[in-house]
């Protein structure tokens, strides 16, 4: 076996990338395209949106989408009850969603990974304290905890981000803790110890790089979750305030006039579904592409 | 699970609940909104306000408030709701059955759908249809309960108005109940018209809760079925001439059930947590909907009581699942 591996061509990084992409399959591609589309819309919303999202035109309120009877070409997806362009608001809401998702997931990841690594690597008192903390967190209904948090901090994007970070760091901490323990039990970790690396050095140089695929996957999934939490908090009425466009806010406004103009509620729901499916497929695809177990 | 493991789990419950209580307590005390400001009539004198604050103990230092509250909770007194002016214990007791009935119906629906999809998927193994079923299942799994609630509300409440989208029971059905378990009581007292109306109100919210959970059960059970079908005992049964359906039913299914219960059981807590928003969306009168109102009204005692209720439910569920697995699996019974 050893001879076979040595005599064959040593796999170059390029082909490893290619085989990883192949393992990811259709999920990786579709998810990647959907997420890329979302990021592009968020980035270029000011350029591509047909109207200012806050621009009101009470003369043309609650217009249906252009392809429906009574629609106007100037408002491709119609207008809301204040006569604001639904398409433009959807695009600017993507901006809100993406900013929340990026910042909140990264912060939750940093906290969760740090605590998970420490708990997994050092055991004993640090592990006990982190594990008990996670126990307490898991006993909270997550939605209720984020609602309480957002209410405590007050309306605004910062409050939404804080609510997501405080609730969701456990997702990272639990999995990273378990994976760190698993990695430390492997031969290469023992070898690092024999080589004279300190625990902290081994963590940074050996363990953490091996956790990167897992972290990337977790991040993709968490971004989908963060988008949902923003929608939830808007729906409950404690997310971003008035002028900032957000899908959750649009759904809430749409619900009040759902019988007169169902599309105002349906379109942002569709946007949320597409984003969440995109992040989920991307996460699944990444897991298949990067998972060291499937690589073997 | 060994007895010692169960005892260890039981021993961890009080500190966990204490932690939950402490976190909620501290969190709520830094809320900028003042609950007293919401209940006083305009023109109340500062002396009145001070008296009200003293009545609810809000003038005490934080630690003193916490210790007082702990002492009360330990003796079964969860305080008085500030916004509803009733005992928290009674309020939660009146609403909890609605949530439990909803969650139970959702779990039942999810198990039926999930098992059906898993079995059909196993019979279709290797075909093009299996791929289609798996993809659809992934879609149902990716969309969380509260989005399903909005989709169902839009679909069957507005576009195709087949079912009620608000409340627990048609107010025109003036029925007096002895308990708060309306569905169970109406079934036991043979008032099937009432039960039917309750079920019609519960169908959309419970379906919203059930769909992602059903997809999870289907995925887990299907994987376990595939694994169990490759085991020796299944192969032997096949060589003895039993049909695939018989083998699935008699040999494979019981063995695939245990890991599925273990893996999906814990997720019931997610379903229970999902009731908060789903109840809100369908204006269903359970503890989830009540919790959101309590947060909006800054009703400290009620929020504390409700979060502790959820925490107790979550912990109890996790323990129940572990015990159920131990009962189902003869190998684990003797540790």
Domain extents in chain A: 25-45+83-295
Residue B201 structural domain: 96-297
Please state the ipTM of this predicted complex: 0.80
Q: Find the residue in A nearest to B303 (Cα).
A: A148
State which fold the A25-45+83-295 domain adopts.
MetI-like fold (1.10.3720)
Residue B261 falls inside a structural domain? yes
Closest residue to A147, CB basis, from B31, B146, B292: B292
Cross-chain residue pair A152–B30, CB shorter than 8 Å: yes
pLDDT at A278: 92
How many cross-chain Cβ pairs, A to B, lie less than 8 Å apart? 115
Cross-chain residue pair A272–B147, CB shorter than 8 Å: yes
Pick the residue with more confidence: B157 or B280?
A: B280
Residue B102 falls inside a structural domain? yes
Cross-chain residue pair B31–A141, CB shorter than 8 Å: no
Cross-chain residue pair A148–B276, CB shorter than 8 Å: no
Q: What is the mean pLDDT of the segment spanning B18-47?
A: 72
Report yes or no: A136 at the B interface, CB cutoff 8 Å.
yes
The predicted-structure confidence for B54-82, as pLDDT tens digits, reads as follows 777 777 777 888 888 888 888 878 888 88
Cross-chain residue pair A140–B311, CB shorter than 8 Å: yes
- Shortest Cα distance, chain A CAs vs residue B63, angstroms: 19
- Shortest Cα distance, chain A CAs vs residue B16, angstroms: 5
- Shortest Cα distance, chain A CAs vs residue B14, angstroms: 10
Closest residue to B273, CB basis, from A133, A141, A272: A141
Q: What is the mean pLDDT of the segment spanning B84-107?
A: 90
Report yes or no: A144 at the B interface, CB cutoff 8 Å.
yes
pLDDT at A45: 81
Residues of B in contact with A132 (CB under 8 A): 12, 15-16, 19
The predicted-structure confidence for A3-40, as pLDDT tens digits, reads as follows 444 444 444 555 666 777 777 778 888 999 999 999 99
Q: What is the CATH number of the domain that holds B172?
A: 1.10.3720.10
Residue B331 falls inside a structural domain? no
CB atoms within 10 A of CB B75: 7
The predicted-structure confidence for B109-130, as pLDDT tens digits, reads as follows 999 999 999 988 888 888 888 8
Report yes or no: B27 at the A interface, CB cutoff 8 Å.
yes
Q: Which of A233, A179, A22, A153 lies closest to B277 in space, CA to CA? A: A233
Return the percentage of chain A with pLDDT > 70, whole number: 89
- Shortest Cα distance, chain B CAs vs residue A211, angstroms: 24
Residue B233 falls inside a structural domain? yes
Confidence bin at B330 (pLDDT 50/70/90): low
- The model carries a pTM of 0.83
Residue B120 falls inside a structural domain? yes
pLDDT at B101: 92
Pick the residue with more confidence: A34 or B179?
A: A34
Q: What is the mean pLDDT of the segment spanning B254-269?
A: 81
Overall number of domains in chain B:
1
pLDDT at A291: 67
In chain A, which residues have pLDDT < 70?
A: 1-17, 238-243, 291-296
Cross-chain residue pair A277–B139, CB shorter than 8 Å: yes
Residue B308 has pLDDT above 60, yes or no: yes
Report yes or no: B13 at the A interface, CB cutoff 8 Å.
no
Report yes or no: B15 at the A interface, CB cutoff 8 Å.
yes
pLDDT at A1: 41
Residues of B in contact with A228 (CB under 8 A): 144, 146-147
Residues of A in contact with B315 (CB under 8 A): 139
Closest residue to B151, CB basis, from A147, A148, A269: A269
Closest residue to A152, CB basis, from B27, B151, B306: B27
Residue B88 has pLDDT above 90, yes or no: no
Residue B239 falls inside a structural domain? yes
- Shortest Cα distance, chain B CAs vs residue A49, angstroms: 26
Pick the residue with more confidence: A22 or B13?
A: B13
**HSE-CB for B191 with a 13 A CA cutoff:** 15
Pick the residue with more confidence: B265 or B94?
A: B94
pLDDT at A16: 64
Residues 238-257 of A with CB under 8 A from B: 251
């Amino acid at each position: 076996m050893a001879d076979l591996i040595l005599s064959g061509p040593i796999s170059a990084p390029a082909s490893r990338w290619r085989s990883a992409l192949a393992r990811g399959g259709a999920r990786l591609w579709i998810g990647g395209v959907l997420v890329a589309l979302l990021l592009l819309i968020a980035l270029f919303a000011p350029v591509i949106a047909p109207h200012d999202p806050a621009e009101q035109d009470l003369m043309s309120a609650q217009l249906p989408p252009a392809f429906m009877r009574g629609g106007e070409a100037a408002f491709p997806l119609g207008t809301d009850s204040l006569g604001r362009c639904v398409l433009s608001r959807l695009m600017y809401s993507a901006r809100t969603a993406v900013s929340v998702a990026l910042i909140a997931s990264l912060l939750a990841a940093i906290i969760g990974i740090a605590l998970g690594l420490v708990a997994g690597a050092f055991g004993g008192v640090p592990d006990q304290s982190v594990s008990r903390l996670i126990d307490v967190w898991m006993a909270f209904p997550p939605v209720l905890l984020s609602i309480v948090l957002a209410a405590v901090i007050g309306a605004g994007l910062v409050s939404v981000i804080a609510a997501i970070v405080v609730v969701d760091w456990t997702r990272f901490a639990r999995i990273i803790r378990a994976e760190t323990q698993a990695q430390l039990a492997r031969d290469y970790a023992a070898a690092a110890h024999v080589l004279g690396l300190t625990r902290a050095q081994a963590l940074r140089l050996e363990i953490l790089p091996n956790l990167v695929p897992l972290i990337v996957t977790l991040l993709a999934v968490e971004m989908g979750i963060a988008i949902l939490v923003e929608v939830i908090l808007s729906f409950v009425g404690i997310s971003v305030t008035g002028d900032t466009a957000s899908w959750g806010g649009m759904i809430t406004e749409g619900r009040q006039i759902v019988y007169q103009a169902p599309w105002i509620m349906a379109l942002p729901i569709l946007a949320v579904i597409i984003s969440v499916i995109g992040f989920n497929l991307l996460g699944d695809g990444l897991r298949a592409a990067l998972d060291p177990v499937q690589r073997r | 699970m060994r007895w010692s493991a169960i005892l260890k789990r039981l021993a961890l419950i009080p500190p966990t609940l204490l932690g939950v209580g402490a976190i909620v307590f501290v969190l709520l005390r830094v809320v900028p909104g003042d609950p007293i400001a919401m209940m006083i009539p305009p023109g109340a004198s500062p002396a009145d306000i001070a008296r009200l604050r003293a009545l609810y103990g809000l003038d005490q230092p934080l630690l003193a408030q916490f210790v007082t509250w702990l002492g009360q909770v330990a003796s079964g007194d969860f305080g008085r709701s500030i916004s509803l002016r009733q005992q928290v214990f009674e309020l939660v007791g009146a609403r909890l059955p609605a949530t439990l009935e909803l969650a139970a119906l959702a779990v039942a629906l999810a198990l039926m759908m999930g098992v059906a999809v898993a079995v059909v998927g196993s019979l279709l193994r290797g075909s093009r249809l299996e791929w289609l079923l798996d993809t659809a299942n992934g879609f149902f799994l990716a969309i969380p309960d509260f989005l399903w609630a909005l989709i169902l509300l839009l679909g069957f409440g507005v576009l195709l108005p087949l079912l009620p989208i608000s409340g627990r029971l048609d107010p025109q059905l003036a029925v007096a109940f002895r308990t708060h378990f309306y569905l169970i009581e109406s079934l036991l007292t043979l008032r099937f018209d009432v039960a039917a109306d309750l079920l019609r109100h519960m169908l959309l919210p419970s379906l919203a809760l059930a769909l992602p959970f059903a997809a999870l059960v289907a995925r887990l059970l299907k994987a376990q079925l595939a694994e169990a079908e490759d085991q020796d005992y299944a192969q032997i049964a096949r060589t003895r001439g039993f049909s695939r359906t018989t083998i699935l039913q008699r040999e494979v299914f019981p063995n695939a059930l245990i890991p599925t219960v273990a893996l999906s059981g814990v997720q019931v807590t997610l379903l229970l947590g999902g009731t908060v928003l789903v109840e809100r969306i369908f204006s269903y009168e359970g503890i989830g909907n009540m919790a959101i109102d309590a947060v909006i009204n800054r009703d400290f005692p009620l929020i504390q009581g409700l979060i502790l209720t959820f925490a107790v439910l979550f912990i109890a569920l996790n323990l129940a699942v572990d015990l159920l697995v131990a009962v189902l699996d003869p190998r684990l019974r003797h540790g």
